[in-house]
Amino acid sequence: MSQRVAIAGVSGRMGRQLLTAAMHSELDLAGCTVRPGDALVGADAGQLVGLTTGVEIVDDLAALSSDVDVLIDFTSPEATLRHLDYCVKQKIAMVIGTTGFSEAQLAAMKAAAARIPLCVAANFSIGVNLLLDVLSRTARLLGDGFDVEIVEAHHRHKVDAPSGTALAMGQAVAGALGRDLKAVANYGREGHTGARDPQTIGFSTIRGGDIVGEHTVLFAGDGERIEISHKASSRMAFASGAVRAAAWLCGQPPGYYDMQDVLGIGETSP
């Protein structure tokens, strides 16, 4: 029997992509939600992508008409945590692609993972997650002889900066170099900054237009420079990865997983 998936925030930019990806996967679409009061409440979810699903859009997870095995959530930190509370009570697995959480919110999510399987990632693109593994290996081989800078670009509507993906890249590099990212991250330079601290990992943020997502990690040494980049041209790359994670998560015990676990790469563990 196929696993049943629900999508939170289906009317958003990512929600529509997730709907399309889910409908072309091995999962059965069991429900879709929008914000309370949204004009789409009661409509067939398929109308968002020009199809018919027979699944009615609701504004509350408790109003879903069928059982759900896994919820995919790319909404906002506050909404995601509300949905997480519901999923814990109902023993529903959850895939979380929301970014911008506080330390306290992340701690609450990790506590919830003792009761249900959670897959949390800043980026569900297969390419980005392969790149995280490459960055860790590259940093370990290069050591402290190269300065590290991370440049990321996104559309004008993105509300958090640096992106969760950029931070994940910074963490991959910092971990490989034995550094604490919180201690060495530099999120902006202005005025007379003095010489660069060689332990620093710098971040630069670009916001504009409809840029889906671009990330470059620069390793700058004496006489040579290495640039490792990933550019997303469609949100479907993220949606397809999230749906793949949802299918994988249904067979897992409670735990805090990420996309590296789904793909079986890197050095992460539940």
In terms of C-beta distances under 8 Å and separation of at least 24 residues, what long-range contacts does 129-132 make, across chains too?
129/241, 129/259, 129/260, 129/263, 129/265, 129/266, 130/263, 130/265, 131/169, 131/215, 131/228, 131/230, 132/168, 132/169, 132/172, 132/260, 132/266
Whether 215 is catalytic:
no
Whether 158 is catalytic:
yes
Structure tokens at 132: 């995280």
| Catalytic position from the list 83, 154, 215, 230 | 154
- Residue 151, H or E segment: strand 147-154
| Catalytic position from the list 89, 155, 157, 158 | 158
Angstrom distance (rounded) from CA 96 to CA 5: 13
Which conformational region is residue 264 in: left (phi greater than 0), alpha (psi within -120 to 50 degrees), or beta?
Answer: left
Structure tokens at 243: 């749906």
Grouping H, G, I as helix, E, B as strand and the rest as coil, residue 74 is coil
C-alpha dihedral, 10 to 12 to 18 to 20, nearest 10°: 80
Structure tokens at 198: 């060689």
What angle is formed at CA 41 by the lines to CA 40 and CA 45, rounded to 5 degrees?
Answer: 65
Angstrom distance (rounded) from CA 174 to CA 186: 13
> So which residues are the catalytic ones?
154, 158
